[in-house]
Amino acid sequence: MKVSSIERGANYVVLIVFALVVLGPIGVIITLAFGPKDASAAREGGLFHPENFPEAWEVGRFGQYMLTSLVVAAIVVVVSVLASILAGYALGTMRFRGATAVFYLFLLGIMVPTEAFIVPLYFDLRELGLTNTVWGVALPQIAMSIAFGTYWMRTYFRTSSRALIEAARLDGATSMRILWQILVPIGRPAILTLVLLVFMWTWNEFLIPLVMSPNGDVRTAPLGLAFFQGQYTQGTALLAAGAVLVALPVVALYIFLQRHFIKGMVEGAVRE
């Protein structure tokens, strides 16, 4: 469409201004992270202090917290994506009584606020001795991810080729074989998107690890950062470096695979 060059110019200005508004705060935290960590570091001079990162890693124990995050995220991703593929396969390709009801049951879970079910779950898991364990932190997140994941995988399986499934069935392939040898390989992009989203949600989750590990045994990276902010009050450079470290894994994935993130969060939001 043809628009005047003035309008085009104005559009560029708007674009640049909004991009700067978004990037500004990110620039602030990165600048702080590389700044001098205290008065003596400032006196010694130098504008660039990458040594803040290994120091935050040590002092703030971010190495340990990020390892915990990685373990929790790996468990949540593997278990919930596998369960979602199986359930989405049933809901997307098979006809049976109760299918619609089950589908709506999963849909419900996408909207239930975490804070509504996490309180009783904490006390029940405490009875079972699961609080302060990796499983106590992972299981509620597995349940939440399955609600979205089943919805997501069902959408994929519904669009997958009926003819292909029918042909394989006539060849005598079992439903397991059709799933793992035909549909899953073709569906790799959809599955990768789901893996990335679940990884991001789990890595960034705050309330569940906060509630499920009151003694701090299973402290994930975001919790470690909040805790560090409360404990370490001298100077902001190490805190900022910690913040950058916590955000880095997901942001790095986003930079390389942003299509998946945007597609997943935009298409995953579209209602039935």
**What residues between 35 and 64 interact with another protein by CB under 8 A?**
none
Whether 25 contacts 38, CB under 8 Å: no
Site for another protein in 153-182 (CB under 8 A): 175
Q: Is 134 in the site for another protein (CB under 8 A)?
A: no
* Residue number, 63 or 135, with CB nearest to another protein: 135
CB of residue 53 vs another protein: minimum separation in angstroms? 15
| Maximum C-alpha span of the chain | 78
**Options 51, 132, 173, 254; binder of another protein; rule CB under 8 A:** 254
The first and second tokens of residue 62, run together, are: 């971010």
Nearest to 70 by CA among 59, 62, 82, 58: 62
One-letter amino acid at 20 equals L
Q: Is 191 in the site for another protein (CB under 8 A)?
A: no
Burial 87-126 (b: 16+ CB within 10 A, else e): bbbbbbbeeeeeeeeebeebbebeeeebeeebeebbeebe
* Residue number, 108 or 167, with CB nearest to another protein: 108
* Residue number, 23 or 164, with CB nearest to another protein: 23
Q: Is 19 in the site for another protein (CB under 8 A)?
A: yes
159-166, Cβ contacts within 8 angstroms, sequence gap of 24 or more: 160/92, 160/93, 160/186, 160/187, 165/93
**Options 59, 118, 182, 192; binder of another protein; rule CB under 8 A:** 118
Helices (H), the chain: 5-33, 39-44, 52-59, 62-93, 99-111, 114-127, 134-159, 162-170, 175-177, 184-186, 188-204, 207-212, 221-231, 237-267
CB of residue 24 vs another protein: minimum separation in angstroms? 8
Q: Is 121 in the site for another protein (CB under 8 A)?
A: yes
CB of residue 270 vs another protein: minimum separation in angstroms? 6
What is the size of the binding site for another protein (CB under 8 A)?
92
CB of residue 93 vs another protein: minimum separation in angstroms? 9
**Options 45, 48, 101, 116; binder of another protein; rule CB under 8 A:** 116
Q: Is 186 in the site for another protein (CB under 8 A)?
A: no
Stretch that binds another protein, among 19-27, 41-49, 58-66, 160-168 (CB under 8 A): 19-27
Whether 62 contacts 246, CB under 8 Å: yes
Site for another protein in 65-94 (CB under 8 A): 79-80, 82-84, 86-87, 89-91, 94
* Residue number, 94 or 164, with CB nearest to another protein: 94
Q: Is 144 in the site for another protein (CB under 8 A)?
A: yes
